[in-house]
Amino acid sequence: MQTRSFLKALGLLAALPASSVLAQSGRPIRIVVPLPAGTATDLAARVLAQNLSAILGEAIVVDNKPGGNGTIGVMDMMRAPADGRTLVLGSNSPLAANMALVKGMAYDPRRDFMPIAGFGETMHALMVKPTFPARTMAEFIANAKQKPGKISVGSSTSGVQVQIATLEKLAGIELLTVPYKGIPAAITDIIGGNLDATMVDLANAMSHGKANNLRAIAVTSLKRNPLVPDWPAISETLPGFDFPSWVGLVGPAGMPRDLAVKMNAAVREAVQKPEIIDRLATIGFAPMRLSNDEFKTYIDSEVDKWIRLAREAKVQAE
């Protein structure tokens, strides 16, 4: 069915279940992930796609479009028809932080998205190579003070860039920030001995920590995470350091609201299932349960927060 016909018919179909409305197109739903495969966002997208597919009775594919701090994937969605068949599951970087960190942004999350649903909350962990001469946050800071500008830290997203800048500011240290297109590439360089440290999503941090490929220093959330209770929070050494992360599902602004509401109901149904909660926990996420309007308010507040954090950390848009 052509997009114009779909939109014209939507008013007659609004009372139908989400699966009935979505099935009118015949095309699979494409969830664009603006980060590489193997990242926490990618893993969350695959959990979501599998369960939405069962709830909606729809074929759903995950399409990784990394690059440009997530902007490449977002713009891919925005160029597609606004019929609900192309969505983005993104982290807080492309959905909020980029407004403070990417110069000449081609989109504004507060204006150009149809918020569908928050999906999961998580955090990063500061991980170092196994031979790094520090095991605690205090030792990491002391080592950095002895070698100003020499300790290399991988930055995989704009959000991580602000985390590193805030760490430098609060600790009074200077690190060598190295940009990467995604966390997996940074992890590869740490394992290969070409990088000292990076901020790693909790799923990869737990996996590589267990395999002794990386060693955890601390987590970025205000408090410790129950999944890794032995890993301290950075805030225990640097009070006020608090950088939780999240992922959420959005469509383009022109997407019909009725369809977005039905998709929200399907996502909320998925994250209430015990098996989904358990699966999300294995990749370091706690489920989010927000309505469309609540998620809209959340995105707006996150944009404001990241603008403030970037200003305080003296990070300029690039």
pLDDT in tens, 145-196: 999 999 999 998 878 889 999 999 999 999 999 999 888 999 999 999 999 9
| pTM (2 d.p.) | 0.79
Helix, strand or coil, per DSSP, at residue 31 = strand
pLDDT at 193: 93
Residue 100 lies in a domain: yes
Model confidence at 76: pLDDT above 90: yes
CA angle 307, 308, 309 (to 5 degrees): 95
pLDDT at 6: 32
CB 264 within 8 A of CB 251: no
Q: Residue 8 — very low, low, confident or very high, per pLDDT cuts 50/70/90?
A: very low
Residue 114 lies in a domain: yes
CB 111 within 8 A of CB 95: no
- The residue among 1 and 156 whose pLDDT is bigger is 156
Q: What confidence tens digit (pLDDT) does each residue in 228-262 have?
A: 999 999 999 999 999 989 999 999 999 999 999 99
Residue 265 host element (H or E): helix 257-270
For residue 272, give both structure tokens. 């209430």
Question: What is the domain count for the chain?
Answer: 2
d(CA 286, CA 109) in angstroms, rounded, equals 23
Statement to judge: residues 98 and 111 lie in one domain: yes
Percent of the chain with pLDDT over 90: 77
Closest CA to 117 of 296, 300, 306: 296
Model confidence at 1: pLDDT above 80: no
pLDDT at 136: 97
Q: What is the CATH number of the domain that holds 134?
A: 3.40.190.10
pLDDT at 12: 31
Residue 128 host element (H or E): strand 113-128
Measured in degrees and rounded to the nearest 5, phi and psi for residue 298 equal -65, -45
For 296-316, letters b (16+ CB in 10 Å) and e give: bebbeebbeebbebbeebebe
Percent of the chain with pLDDT over 70: 92
Which residue, 207, 236, 265, sits at the end of a domain? 236
pLDDT at 75: 97
Q: Are strands 152-155 and 197-201 parallel, antiparallel or unpaired?
A: parallel
Statement to judge: residues 132 and 214 lie in one domain: yes
Measured in degrees and rounded to the nearest 5, phi and psi for residue 265 equal -60, -40
Statement to judge: residues 149 and 215 lie in one domain: yes
What count of Cα atoms within 13 Å lies in the side-chain half-sphere of residue 220?
27
Statement to judge: residues 13 and 116 lie in one domain: yes
d(CA 280, CA 267) in angstroms, rounded, equals 13
Whose structure tokens read 């940074």?
186
Statement to judge: residues 104 and 250 lie in one domain: yes
Mean pLDDT of 296-309: 94
- The residue among 11 and 87 whose pLDDT is bigger is 87
pLDDT at 14: 33
Residue 287 host element (H or E): strand 286-287
Q: What is the CATH number of the domain that holds 101?
A: 3.40.190.150
d(CA 43, CA 28) in angstroms, rounded, equals 19
d(CA 83, CA 95) in angstroms, rounded, equals 20
DSSP category for residue 96: I
The mean predicted confidence, pLDDT, of the chain is 89
Statement to judge: residues 190 and 256 lie in one domain: no
pLDDT at 25: 53
For residue 105, give both structure tokens. 């942004």
pLDDT at 44: 94
d(CA 147, CA 151) in angstroms, rounded, equals 7
Statement to judge: residues 33 and 101 lie in one domain: yes
Closest CA to 177 of 192, 199, 200, 204: 199
d(CA 30, CA 60) in angstroms, rounded, equals 6
Mean pLDDT of 270-286: 92
Burial class (CB in 10 A: 0-12, 13-18, 19+), 160: buried
Statement to judge: residues 23 and 73 lie in one domain: yes
For residue 288, give both structure tokens. 């989010």
Domain that residue 218 falls in: 124-236
Q: Residue 79 — very low, low, confident or very high, per pLDDT cuts 50/70/90?
A: very high
d(CA 244, CA 220) in angstroms, rounded, equals 7
pLDDT at 238: 97
Statement to judge: residues 32 and 130 lie in one domain: no
For residue 190, give both structure tokens. 């740490």
Residue 318 lies in a domain: no
d(CA 14, CA 22) in angstroms, rounded, equals 11
CB 49 within 8 A of CB 61: yes
Statement to judge: residues 81 and 157 lie in one domain: no
Mean pLDDT of 37-50: 92
Helix, strand or coil, per DSSP, at residue 94 = helix
Least confident of 13-17, 73-77, 113-117, 118-122: 13-17
Model confidence at 21: pLDDT above 60: no
